């Protein structure tokens, strides 16, 4: 049977989260570490481990069918591949940063400056759009130390918390792009591989949706039931289970994680008690 070959970062910031997602999708991987190509006993895929920068090229060449990369790498490499799904992890910004002590009034700051980066394509496109001429120094790692050692005046690099910048006496002044892990694929997959990819995406969405929601159980006084239902409508409508005490019912529903604290307060105001909130593993709607 034909398998879908997925390129995954061998070791780095994407690796663990990617394998965790596969695991949650019921895709286990056999074979020890150190192997380049690994099979799944549960699902018709095989995983090819690569450096993240090489993944778009391998997918464009058809050596791998799909791959997981940071959107930043997808844009920087500019290969002939398409984003088929956004995966919601490894979120970061690609930003311009300058020495902490310098005053920053706007992009004019960068006119004629030397900027160190591993993302020359994204940076030069941005500077061109803004009509800034700067000297781009491409370096392959530890970009954040470039200003401190006199190699550059500023940097263009990945930022997540900003602590690396801070400890190198730098400050973030412009966010040029936001990135997250994405699933990329060749635009021309065979029908059978396309079917496997669709099944994979279906599973990924079920996992992602589940993470964004919580299962909630509570006891509600019957007299306030309509108002309580209005606060938590549920996927279709909430389940209502009678309790021995005739004035009360037990209500089960699903609520978005982001609304959670807001909803709990409103429920308590309407007399809800014994509220239990439970994580959902998979969610198919």
Binding residues for ligand ATP, rule: CB under 6 A, are 9, 12-14, 51-53, 70, 72-73, 90-92, 158, 160, 179
The answer to whether the beta carbons of residues 82 and 183 sit under 8 Å apart is no
Distance between CA 222 and CA 210 in Å, rounded? Answer: 29
Least spacing, CB of residue 52 vs ligand ATP, in Å: 4
Least spacing, CB of residue 58 vs Zn ion, in Å: 13
78 binds, among Zn ion, ligand ATP, none (CB under 5 to 8 A by kind): none
Least spacing, CB of residue 226 vs ligand ATP, in Å: 45
Give, as one character, the DSSP assignment of residue 27: -
The H or E element spanning position 184 is: strand 181-185
9 binds, among Zn ion, ligand ATP, none (CB under 5 to 8 A by kind): ligand ATP
Q: Nearer Cβ to ligand ATP, position 19 or 277? A: 19
Using alpha carbons, list the distances in angstroms from residue 275 to 218, 229, 250, 268, 269: 4, 14, 10, 9, 13
72 binds, among Zn ion, ligand ATP, none (CB under 5 to 8 A by kind): ligand ATP
Least spacing, CB of residue 53 vs Zn ion, in Å: 4
Q: Nearer Cβ to ligand ATP, position 12 or 242? A: 12
- The pairs formed by 193-201 with CB atoms below 8 angstroms and a separation of 24 or more are 193/2, 193/4, 193/65, 196/2, 196/3, 196/4, 196/43, 196/44, 196/45, 197/4, 197/65, 197/66, 197/84, 199/43, 200/4, 200/25, 200/27, 200/43, 200/45, 201/84, 201/85
262 binds, among Zn ion, ligand ATP, none (CB under 5 to 8 A by kind): none
Distance between CA 42 and CA 3 in Å, rounded? Answer: 12
Q: Nearer Cβ to ligand ATP, position 83 or 107? A: 83
Q: Nearer Cβ to ligand ATP, position 180 or 259? A: 180
Q: Nearer Cβ to ligand ATP, position 6 or 254? A: 6
Least spacing, CB of residue 146 vs ligand ATP, in Å: 16
Coil, strand, or helix at residue 45?
A: strand
């Amino acid at each position: 049977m034909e398998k879908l070959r997925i390129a995954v970062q061998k070791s780095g910031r994407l690796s663990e989260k990617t394998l965790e997602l596969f695991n949650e999708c019921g895709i286990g991987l056999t074979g020890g570490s150190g192997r380049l190509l690994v099979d799944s006993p549960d699902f018709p895929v095989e995983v090819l481990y690569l450096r993240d920068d090489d993944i778009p090229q391998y997918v464009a060449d058809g050596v791998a069918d799909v791959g997981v990369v940071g959107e930043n790498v997808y844009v920087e490499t500019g290969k002939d591949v398409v984003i088929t799904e956004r995966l919601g992890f490894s979120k970061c910004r690609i930003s311009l940063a300058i020495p902490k002590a310098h005053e920053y009034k706007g992009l004019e700051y960068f006119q004629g400056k030397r900027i160190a980066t591993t993302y020359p394509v994204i940076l030069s496109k941005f500077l061109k759009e803004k009509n800034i001429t700067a000297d781009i120094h491409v370096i392959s790692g530890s970009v954040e130390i470039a200003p401190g050692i006199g190699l550059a005046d500023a940097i263009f690099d990945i930022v997540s918390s900003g602590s690396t910048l801070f400890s190198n006496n730098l400050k973030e002044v412009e966010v040029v792009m936001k990135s997250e892990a994405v699933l990329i694929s060749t635009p021309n997959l065979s029908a059978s591989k396309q079917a496997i990819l669709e099944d994979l995406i279906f599973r990924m969405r079920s996992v992602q949706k589940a993470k964004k929601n919580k299962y909630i159980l509570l006891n509600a006084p019957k007299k306030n039931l309509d108002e309580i239902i209005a606060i938590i409508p549920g996927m279709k409508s909430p389940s209502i289970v009678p309790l021995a005490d005739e004035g009360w019912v037990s209500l089960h529903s699903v609520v978005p994680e982001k609304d959670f604290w807001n909803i709990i307060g409103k429920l308590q105001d309407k007399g809800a008690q014994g509220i239990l909130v439970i994580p959902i593993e998979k969610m198919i709607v």
